[in-house]
Structure 1
Amino acid sequence: MNRLMKSGALALVAAALCASVAIAQEWSFTDAAGNTVTLDNPPERIVAFSSSAAGLMQFGIEPVGVFTDESASDKSLAEFELDGIEVIRTAWNQLQPESLLALDPDLIVTEWWPRTDGYSGGDQMGPEGQFASVAPIIGIEQGGSVLEIIERYGALAEALGADLNAPEIVADREAFETARAAFAEAAAANPGLKVMAAYASEDSLMVAAPSGSAELQDFTNWGLDVVVPDAPEGEYWSVLSWENADIYRTDVLLLDDRSGDDMRATVDAQPLAARMPSVAAGQVGDWPAWWIRTYGSYTAELEELTALIESAEVVTE
Structure 2
Amino acid sequence: MKRLTITSALAVLMAGTASLAIAQEWSFTDGAGNTITLDSPPERIVAFSSSAAGLMQFGIEPVGIFTDDSTSEKSYAEFDLSGIEIVRTAYNELQAESLLAFDADLIVTEYWPRTGDYSGGDAMRPDGQFADIAPIVGVLQGDSVLGLIEDYGRLAEALGADLDAPEIEQKRTAFNQARAQLTAAAEAKPGLTVMAAWADTDSLYVAAPTGAAELNDFASWGLNMVEPDAPEGEYWGILSWENADTYPADVLLLDDRFGTATREAVDAQPLAELIPAVAAGQVGDWPAWWIRTYGAYTAEIEKLTALVENAEVVQE
TM-score normalised to structure 2 length? 0.96
Deviation at 1:12, TM superposition (A): 4.5
Deviation at 1:66, TM superposition (A): 0.6
CA displacement, residues 200-223 of structure 1 (integer Å, 9 cap, x when unaligned): 111111111011110001000000
Matched, 1:68 2:51: no
Aligned residue-pair number: 316
SS at match of 1:175: helix
Deviation at 1:21, TM superposition (A): 5.0
- Ranges in structure 1 where 5+ consecutive residues have no aligned partner: none
CA displacement, residues 294-315 of structure 1 (integer Å, 9 cap, x when unaligned): 0000000000000000000000
SS at match of 1:178: helix
SS at match of 2:71: coil
SS at match of 1:248: coil
Cα distance in structure 2, aligned partners of 1:174 and 1:16: 43
Q: Which residue of 2 aligns with 1:96?
A: 95
Superposition map of 1:284-299 within 5 A: 284-299=283-298
Cα distance in structure 1, aligned partners of 2:181 and 2:78: 23
Deviation at 1:143, TM superposition (A): 1.4
CA RMSD between the two structures: 1.8
Cα distance in structure 2, aligned partners of 1:112 and 1:308: 32
Deviation at 1:19, TM superposition (A): 3.1
Q: Which residue of 1 aligns with 2:223?
A: 224
Cα distance in structure 2, aligned partners of 1:37 and 1:247: 47
Identity across the alignment (%): 70
Q: Which residue of 2 aligns with 1:311?
A: 310
Cα distance in structure 2, aligned partners of 1:275 and 1:127: 47
Cα distance in structure 2, aligned partners of 1:238 and 1:126: 29
CA displacement, residues 124-158 of structure 1 (integer Å, 9 cap, x when unaligned): 10221110111100000001110010000001101
Matched, 1:251 2:243: no
Deviation at 1:187, TM superposition (A): 0.4
Cα distance in structure 2, aligned partners of 1:20 and 1:171: 35
Deviation at 1:162, TM superposition (A): 0.6
SS at match of 1:42: coil
Q: Which residue of 1 aligns with 2:263?
A: 264
Matched, 1:47 2:20: no
Q: Which residue of 2 aligns with 1:22?
A: 22
CA displacement, residues 104-142 of structure 1 (integer Å, 9 cap, x when unaligned): 111000000011111100011022111011110000000
Describe the shift of the 1:16–1:164 C-alpha distance in structure 2 as closer, same or farther (beyond 3 A).
Answer: closer
CA displacement, residues 258-279 of structure 1 (integer Å, 9 cap, x when unaligned): 0111211110100111111111
Cα distance in structure 2, aligned partners of 1:17 and 1:261: 59
TM-score normalised to structure 1 length? 0.95
Cα distance in structure 2, aligned partners of 1:54 and 1:307: 26
Deviation at 1:36, TM superposition (A): 1.1
SS at match of 2:123: coil
CA displacement, residues 225-265 of structure 1 (integer Å, 9 cap, x when unaligned): 00111100111111111111110011111000001112111
Q: Which residue of 2 aligns with 1:213?
A: 212
Cα distance in structure 2, aligned partners of 1:239 and 1:92: 24
